[in-house]
Amino acid sequence: MTRFALTVEFDGRPFMGWQRQSHGPSVQASIERALREITREDIAVHAAGRTDAGVHATAMRAHCDVTRPIAPFRLMEALNARLRPDPVAILDCVEVAPDWHARFSCIQRRYEYRIVLRRAPLTHERGLAWRIPQPLDVPAMADAAQRLVGRHDFTTFRSAHCQADSPVRTLDRLNVLGDGDRIAVHAAARSFLHHQVRSMVGCLAMVGRGQWTADTLSDALAARDRARLGLNAPPDGLFFVGADYPAEASA
């Protein structure tokens, strides 16, 4: 039995999310189907994190255990051949220690949220960014974002369907960067609550529009009440961009 670590890129638009679903396609099911075709084994694929319907990834980390002897490069090539035409690609595949776990060994997860400021509809990037038709005050957003960094009870920014045991999380980084008509929000933490990144971005957009101030954002956080959430950003602009581990120990 060999454990392989995969780096996965996918376009989330056709999927119900990462996790296998009974009522629609998922990234996990797509990869597991390809693995079954290659190995004739029913193999579970475990990811660093779950993503919602319409959320994308540039570097999701995952792992699977394969009984059949196969080289990492051959497995990657075979997976990519069988994943077509699904918009999923295996960017890297390496052997790892048997106790390496994509989810439980992960010490930090990183997301990027992409916003495009323009009145015209998106064509090439439709579903890949949040279009906002008016200018946003990026410095105000960047300043307000720092109010959320640190260890807090994020109940206000947590989905009502979140299954986490505790709403307390430590947000390591929340940076807002503007470049012309584009804004990128970078978030990093050991773990996130369901909808946490989208909820934070939605409220930061309200700050950018002048509807909220940094103090309003702080008050919403302190309220620990989902009803105090200003806006939940759409899934379109959210990308899982990285997962970090203490060591990438190859077997």
In whole angstroms, how large is the CA radius of gyration of the chain? 19
Q: Helix (H, G, I), strand (E, B), or coil: what is residue 184?
A: strand
CA angle 119, 137, 194 (to 5 degrees): 85
The token duo for 80 is: 């990519």
Is residue 138 within 8 Å of 178, Cβ to Cβ? yes
Q: Which member of 11, 52, 92, 219 is catalytic?
A: 52
Angle in degrees, 0-180, between the axes of helices 27-39 and 72-83, rounded to the nearest 10? 120
Residue 219 appears among annotated catalytic residues: no
- First vs last Cα of the chain: how many Å apart? 12
From the CB of residue 215, how many other CB atoms can be counted at a distance below 10 Å? 10
Cα 28 to Cα 18: distance, rounded to the nearest angstrom: 5
| Residues annotated as catalytic (active site), given as ranges | 52
